[in-house]
Chain A
Amino acid sequence: GDSVTQMEGPVTLSEEAFLTINCTYTATGYPSLFWYVQYPGEGLQLLLKATKADDKGSNKGFEATYRKETTSFHLEKGSVQVSDSAVYFCALSKNNAGNMLTFGGGTRLMVKP
């Protein structure tokens, strides 16, 4: 079946450091890929998505590129802030809208001032 694998956390960074959270997937066909963010005590918010190979999703300084050759969708940000501290989930869906999602295990990011 379909699956998503993320790097285990927590990831601890200082403010303004560069962030990479790795995500790889296994799926048949051509899934759409998503990053969701979960702030403490809250539900999930869609951060960005990409629906086909080589697409780059971006939002709030975060970006991720759909790499079909490596089945990856790594999340990056050039300069993290304390307010970025949250849990980040990589997910895939067999359709563009992401209405049937398979989630990765989540990666907790802690940014220190």
Chain B
Amino acid sequence: GAVVSQHPSWVICKSGTSVKIECRSLDFQATTMFWYRQFPKQSLMLMATSNEGSKATYEQGVEKDKFLINHASLTLSTLTVTSAHPEDSSFYICSARDTGISQPQHFGDGTRLSIL
């Protein structure tokens, strides 16, 4: 089946550091990838949708300059949290969709980000 790999699974870093999270589709080409944020004991909130080769579409209230998304290839999207602060600590989950609007989302295992 379709596999989405997310890396790293857990990262702890100091305030002010920029952190990059990778999302890879291992056995299919993901024309669209989604980035979600999940606070403890809460649901997933869609942050942005990225299509390969074009700029990401951010949801209302998500800072584009804070959360940089790059989707340069059909198998890789990255989310960079720039100058991270403790309030950015959260669980970030990506999902990927194969070519074609009828294809389902496949989720990665998530990245736990802890900013000290």
**Interface of A toward B, CB cutoff 8 Å:** 36, 41-46, 89, 95-99, 101, 103-106, 108
Contacting pair B101 A95 (CB below 8 A):
yes
Q: Residues of B within 8 Å of A, CB-based: how many?
A: 22
Known: A44-B44, A99-B102, A101-B46. 11 other contacts (CB 8 A): A41-B110, A43-B4, A43-B95, A43-B107, A44-B93, A46-B104, A89-B43, A89-B44, A98-B104, A101-B105, A105-B43
**Proximity bits, B28-66, A CB within 8 Å = 1, else 0:** 000010000000011110100000000000000000000
10 A-B pairs with least C-beta separation: A43-B107, A44-B107, A43-B109, A97-B104, A103-B43, A105-B43, A43-B110, A97-B102, A42-B109, A43-B108
- Cβ-Cβ contact count across A and B, 8 Å cutoff: 52
Near A by CB (< 8 A), chain B positions 1-51 give 4, 6, 9, 32, 41-44, 46
Chain B residues lying within 8 Å of A105, measured Cβ to Cβ, are 42-43
Contacting pair B112 A106 (CB below 8 A):
no
